[in-house]
Amino acid sequence: MKVAIVAERVGGQVKETVGIENLISVPETTGSELADNLKTHLLRYPVDLLEHRKIEKVELVGKEKQVTTSVGEKLTTPALIIATGASWRKLNVPGETEYIGRGVAFCSHCDGPFYVGKHVAVVGGGNSGIEAAIDLASICSRVTVFEFMDELKADQVLQEKLRSLSNVEVFVSSQTTEVIGNGDKLTALRVKDRKTEEERVIELDGVFVQIGLTANSGVFRDLVETNRPGEIVIDAFCRTNVPGIYAAGDVSTVPYKQIIISMGEGAKAALSAFDDRVRGNI
Ligand SMILES: Cc1cc2nc3c(=O)[nH]c(=O)nc-3n(C[C@H](O)[C@H](O)[C@H](O)COP(=O)(O)OP(=O)(O)OC[C@H]3O[C@@H](n4cnc5c(N)ncnc54)[C@H](O)[C@@H]3O)c2cc1C
């Protein structure tokens, strides 16, 4: 089979990660090292790598899929694997972007181990925020939760578990307005009480922003079925509702958004495409 990859950049979210310690068989690596290794491995195969462009449009022409890129190329293919990932929703406050990976984190399973014994905040009181706070409370000295609304949105059972933990405190009606650092790493958060308008600065070692993840599926939403948060709906073979279009990793409905899951899903989608092609289904 002839294979081409269209990629805005090789590495994706991994490039935003400083330390990775949960990729089975690799005890410790960094985001840039892993991304470089992926690229080196990829280039050992006869794959056309079309980097630094985005897919802007996909149209169905009979059974074929016609892909238009941001530099005007048109690629026609019987099988398309969408692996455009997701973007964490950001707070969009001063200091946030500057301290990503240096105190500002988005994935508690991934980055939690870097904060053992430390004081962290979780911004967001939905299910993912409260789950993150519960996980972090078992390894951090103190966890402070800030929720923008007047009450937590997480399921009752999670809220009860959270309240049973002695090292967790929760503030509702709280708006995070600034990430403060010393140039090297985050040192504090500025938070405003939305009722009293009073602002205070809370010193901490890290903040986990848990206000949602958005699937990068916008370009494909008119083409394939997506769920309410915009994830592309797939079956156990990574097939979408359109024959010959597959989705893998964070852009899809696969549970657990992690590197090892995405790698496995990418392999699965490729095997499904191969299988469907050799069986004459696409
Ligand atoms: C700060 C941070 C730390 C993390 N730490 C860990 C960790 O330690 N361990 C772990 O297991 N997981 C971690 N994760 C999660 C992990 O990075 C993701 O689950 C994984 O990268 C998802 O891989 P993916 O290939 O599905 O998507 P992505 O990594 O999001 O890659 C998608 C790629 O598609 C490109 N793209 C998007 N739209 C288009 C388009 N229209 N055309 C062309 N290209 C497009 C993007 O630019 C990107 O390069 C972390 C995530 C973040 C943000």
Closest protein CA for atom 53 of ligand 1: 13
Q: Are residues 54 and 122 in the same domain?
A: no
Distance CA 256, CA 109 (A): 10
pLDDT at 86: 93
Residue 121 has pLDDT above 80, yes or no: yes
Residue 19 pLDDT exceeds 80: no
Q: How far is the CA of 80 from the centre of ligand 1 (A)?
A: 18
* Local confidence band at 269 (pLDDT 50, 70, 90 cut-offs): very high
Atom of ligand 1 nearest to the CA of 70: 42
Question: Considering the chain, what is the average pLDDT of its residues?
Answer: 95
Pocket test for ligand 1, best of 23, 33, 81, 110 (most atoms within 8 A of CB): 110
Pocket test for ligand 1, best of 107, 108, 232, 234 (most atoms within 8 A of CB): 107
Pocket flag, ligand 1, residue 206 (CB < 6 Å): no
Taking 80 as the threshold, does the pLDDT of residue 18 lie above it? no
Distance, CA of 9 to CA of 7 (rounded, Å): 5
Q: What is the pLDDT of residue 68?
A: 97
In a domain, 35, yes or no: yes
pLDDT score, position 177: 97
CB of 135 shorter than 6 A to ligand 1:
no
- Residue 107: the pLDDT is 87
Q: What's the pLDDT at 17?
A: 73
Is the Cβ atom of 259 under 6 angstroms away from ligand 1? Answer: yes
Q: How many Å lie between the centroid of ligand 1 and the Cα of residue 11?
A: 7
- Average pLDDT of the segment spanning 253-259: 93
Residue nearest to atom 36 of ligand 1 (CA): 84
pLDDT at 212 over 90: no
Is the C-beta atom of 249 inside 6 A of ligand 1?
Answer: yes
pLDDT given at position 273: 98
Q: Is residue 142 over pLDDT 80?
A: yes
Examine the pLDDT at 16 and tell me if it is beyond 80: no
115 and 186 housed in the same domain: yes
- Ligand 1 closest atom vs CA 13: 29
pLDDT tens string 172-196: 999 999 999 999 999 999 999 999 9
Predicted pLDDT of residue 213: 84
Collapsing DSSP to helix, strand or coil, 274 comes out as helix
Residues 142 and 220 in one domain: no
Confidence class for position 3, pLDDT limits 50, 70, 90? very high
Q: How confident is the model at residue 37 (pLDDT cuts 50, 70, 90)?
A: very high
194 alpha carbon – ligand 1 mean position (Å): 33
d(CA 268, CA 274): 10
**Domain of 271?**
3-86+214-278
Of ligand 1's listed atoms, the one at least distance from the Cα of 259 is 11
Domain at 201, CATH number: 3.50.50.60
127 and 198 in a single domain? The answer is yes
Domain count, the chain: 2
Per-residue confidence band for 229, with pLDDT thresholds at 50, 70 and 90: confident
Determine the distance separating the centroid of ligand 1 and the alpha carbon of 17, expressed in angstroms. 10
| Domain end point (choices 152, 187, 209) | 209
Q: Does residue 46 lie within any of the structural domains?
A: yes
**Both tokens assigned to 196:** 């009293």
Q: What is the dihedral of CA 44, 3, 264, 24, to 10 degrees?
A: 10
Closest-lying ligand 1 atom to the alpha carbon of residue 12? 49
DSSP class per residue in 80-123? EEE---EEEPP---TTTTTTBTTTEES-HHHHGGGGTTSEEEEE
CA 35 to chain centre: 16
Cα(262) to centroid of ligand 1, in Å?
9
Question: What is the arithmetic mean of pLDDT over 217-229?
Answer: 95
| pLDDT at site 123 | 98
In a domain, 98, yes or no: no
Give domain status of residue 93, yes or no: no
pLDDT of residue 128: 85
Rg (CA), the chain: 21
For residue 250 and ligand 1, the question of a CB distance below 6 A is answered with yes
Q: Looking at 209, 238, 269, which one is the last position of a domain? A: 209
| Residue 26: predicted pLDDT | 94
Q: pLDDT by residue (tens digit) across 42-87? A: 999 999 999 999 999 999 999 999 999 999 999 999 999 999 999 8
d(CA 192, CA 175): 5
155 or 274: whose pLDDT is higher?
274
| Structure confidence at residue 20 as a pLDDT band (50, 70, 90) | confident
What amino acid is encoded at 176 in this protein?
T
pLDDT tens digits for range 126-136: 988 998 999 99
Q: Count Cβ atoms within 10 A of the Cβ of residue 41 and give its class: 0-12 exposed, 13-18 middle, 19 or more buried.
A: exposed
Asked if 47 and 28 sit in the same domain, the reply is yes
**Dist. CA 23–CA 29, nearest whole Å:** 9
